[in-house]
């Protein structure tokens, strides 16, 4: 392996890992804020207990999201200095805005919420958690603006480097406008699943139904909204992807030759090198619909796009690794929809104050906790690997982005260090989530704001 491969592995591992915590943070912050609001409005102590219970799980996650996020910012300079030199003028701005507009907000107001229960008036305290929720979405917007620029570089002129021409265009990139709702709704799905799965575990044991029944239903609604929303926004995104990165769409379907109409295959068994399908179960016309919005639209195949890219960008191989694109695309959709299905069943079983169901559905609900994480991970793997060989589509290839002064041994060292550290922390974090997920919700007492002895 050379530095490009190692740096890519490191980026992949650290990003997918970071994005296990981000969706939970974004999703749970909104759900905790909703429960906190319900308590402030109704005074029902069950909502306060729920707020505190989910707040604890939220905080365990938030810590991991924060610390793994710093790695993301630093490794652009450490591993990808040529990329950073090339795009810094455009790509740096959203990162800086993310820090200035969102991270300060999140960290400060989260601390106020976390430690301010008995120091702030109820409404101010409530506003703190909403500020955190909004801050985390602002943060997602800027980071996705940076990512969307890599997918579809608008608002720039390229001289020696990519230079900012129109920041408005960067912030209204059509890829961004579809990716942002797609990601946020996916985050609600992830946060919702946590509520759903943990509540199901307690309800199956008939514990604290006053806290966990509303939590389960709130979670299930979030999952349903998330699943439906990702499906719709994903459909929009697919059409934009077909216009902007036809190779990516072709790779997602492993469609080698242009077809009209094009079918969508539910699964395919292909040759080992992934260049030819052997058997496929297909839905006629569906890919045409996904890609173009019409059931008999024309979808370009890999081979044709490859020829076209060679004409536009010169000789070279412009094909991503197709089996990976094909399967990650399907698994992303499949796992997300499965979570939606579980939520639908649970909402049905718990409607009208009821709490029924066989053991298996509760078990399924508990295990559904892994679904959004699989969906998110495959989603990132798809969107980042199916863009290859480009690091910035049509502007810079990934092989030209690495740090020329950093050796293989150095990248390998950090890859090993991060993998080990992240592995250990994953075990610790999972252990804590399970421990605190199984605990009874805390009591409902909040002491009123008192007079502290001031230090200054």
Partner 1 sequence: MELTEVWFVAIAVLWLGYFVLEGFDFGVGMLLPVVAGNDAERRAMIETIEPVWDGNEVWLITAGAATFAAFPEWYASLFSAFYLPLLVILVTLIVRGVAFEFRGKRDSPTWRWRWDAGIVAGSFVPALLWGVAFANIVRGLRLDSRHEYVGTVADLLNPYALFGGLTTLALFATHGAVFLALKSTGEISRRAVAVAVRTGVVAAVLVVVFLAWTQLHGGSLATAVLAALAVVSFVLSLVAVGRGRQGWAFLLSAVAIGLTVISLFAVLHPDVLPSTIDPAYSLTVVNAAATPKTLGLMTWVAVIFLPLVLLYQGWTYWVFRHRIGAG
Find the part of the chain contacting partner 1 (CB under 8 A) among 220-228, 256-264, 281-289, 409-417.
409-417
CB of residue 161 vs partner 1: minimum separation in angstroms? 8
CA distances from 392 to 23, 91, 181, 385 (A): 25, 11, 22, 12
CA-CA distance, 408 to 104, in Å (whole number)?
A: 36
The CB-side HSE value for 202 (13 A sphere, CA atoms) comes to 25
Token pair of 89, please? 């003028």
Q: Which is nearer to partner 1, 314 or 404 (CB)?
A: 404
CA-CA distance, 390 to 377, in Å (whole number)?
A: 20
Q: Which is nearer to partner 1, 85 or 122 (CB)?
A: 85
Question: Is residue 417 involved in binding partner 1 (CB under 8 A)?
Answer: yes
Q: Which is nearer to partner 1, 266 or 434 (CB)?
A: 434
The H or E element containing residue 265 is strand 264-270
* Site for partner 1, residues 100 to 139, rule: CB under 8 A: 100-101, 103-105, 107-112, 114-116, 119-120
* Site for partner 1, residues 422 to 451, rule: CB under 8 A: 425, 428-429, 432, 435-436
CB of residue 451 vs partner 1: minimum separation in angstroms? 9
Question: Is residue 66 involved in binding partner 1 (CB under 8 A)?
Answer: yes
* Site for partner 1, residues 68 to 107, rule: CB under 8 A: 68-71, 73-74, 76-79, 81-82, 84-85, 87-93, 95-101, 103-105, 107
Radius of gyration of the chain (CA): 23
Token pair of 329, please? 């695309």
Tally Cβ neighbours within 10 Å of residue 199. Answer: 32
CB of residue 218 vs partner 1: minimum separation in angstroms? 25
Q: Which is nearer to partner 1, 63 or 446 (CB)?
A: 63
Q: For tokens 């045409």, name the residue.
A: 288
CA-CA distance, 452 to 356, in Å (whole number)?
A: 49
* Site for partner 1, residues 148 to 177, rule: CB under 8 A: 161, 163-165, 167
CA-CA distance, 378 to 335, in Å (whole number)?
A: 9
Find the part of the chain contacting partner 1 (CB under 8 A) among 33-41, 352-360, 373-381, 404-412.
404-412
CA-CA distance, 40 to 43, in Å (whole number)?
A: 6
CB of residue 94 vs partner 1: minimum separation in angstroms? 8
* Site for partner 1, residues 44 to 63, rule: CB under 8 A: 59-60, 62-63
């Amino acid at each position: 392996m050379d530095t490009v491969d190692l740096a890519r592995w490191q980026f992949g591992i650290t990003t997918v890992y970071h994005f296990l915590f981000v969706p939970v943070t974004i999703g749970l912050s909104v759900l905790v804020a909703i429960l906190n609001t319900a308590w402030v409005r109704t005074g029902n102590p069950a909502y306060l207990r729920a707020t505190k219970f989910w707040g604890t799980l939220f905080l365990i996650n938030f810590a991991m999201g924060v610390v793994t996020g710093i790695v993301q910012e630093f490794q652009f300079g450490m591993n990808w200095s040529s990329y950073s030199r090339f795009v810094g003028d455009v790509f740096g701005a959203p990162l800086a805005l993310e820090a200035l507009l969102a991270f300060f907000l999140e960290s400060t107001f989260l601390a106020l919420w976390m430690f301010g229960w008995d120091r702030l008036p109820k409404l101010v305290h409530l506003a703190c958690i909403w500020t955190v929720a909004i801050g985390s979405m602002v943060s997602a917007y800027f980071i996705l603006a940076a990512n969307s620029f890599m997918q579809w570089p608008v608002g720039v002129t390229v001289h020696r480097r990519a230079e900012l021409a129109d920041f408005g265009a960067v912030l209204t990139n059509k890829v961004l406008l579809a990716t942002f709702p797609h990601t946020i709704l996916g985050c609600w799905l992830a946060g919702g699943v946590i509520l759903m799965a943990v509540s199901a575990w307690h309800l199956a044991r008939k514990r604290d139904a006053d806290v966990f029944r509303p939590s389960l239903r709130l979670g299930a609604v979030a999952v349903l909204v998330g699943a439906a929303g990702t499906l719709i926004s994903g459909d929009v995104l697919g059409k934009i992807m077909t216009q902007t990165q036809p190779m990516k769409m072709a790779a997602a379907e492993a469609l080698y030759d242009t077809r009209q109409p094009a079918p969508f295959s539910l699964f395919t068994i292909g040759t080992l090198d992934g260049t030819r399908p052997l058997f496929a179960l297909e839905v006629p016309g569906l890919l045409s619909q996904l890609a173009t919005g019409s059931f008999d639209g024309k979808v370009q195949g890999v081979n044709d796009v490859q020829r076209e890219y060679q004409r536009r960008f010169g000789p070279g191989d412009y094909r991503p690794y197709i089996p990976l694109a094909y399967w990650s695309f399907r698994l992303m959709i499949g796992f997300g929809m499965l979570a939606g299905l579980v939520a639908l069943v649970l909402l049905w079983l718990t409607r009208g104050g009821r709490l029924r169901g066989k053991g298996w559905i509760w078990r399924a609900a508990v295990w559904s906790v892994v679904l959004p994480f699989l969906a998110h991970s495959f989603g990132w793997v798809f969107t980042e690997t199916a863009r290859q060989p480009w690091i910035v589509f049509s502007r810079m290839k990934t092989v030209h982005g690495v740090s020329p002064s950093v050796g293989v041994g150095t990248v390998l060292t950090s890859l090993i260090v991060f993998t080990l550290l992240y592995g250990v922390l994953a075990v610790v974090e999972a252990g804590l989530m399970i421990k605190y997920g199984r605990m009874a919700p805390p009591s409902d007492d909040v002491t009123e704001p008192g007079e502290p002895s001031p230090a200054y």
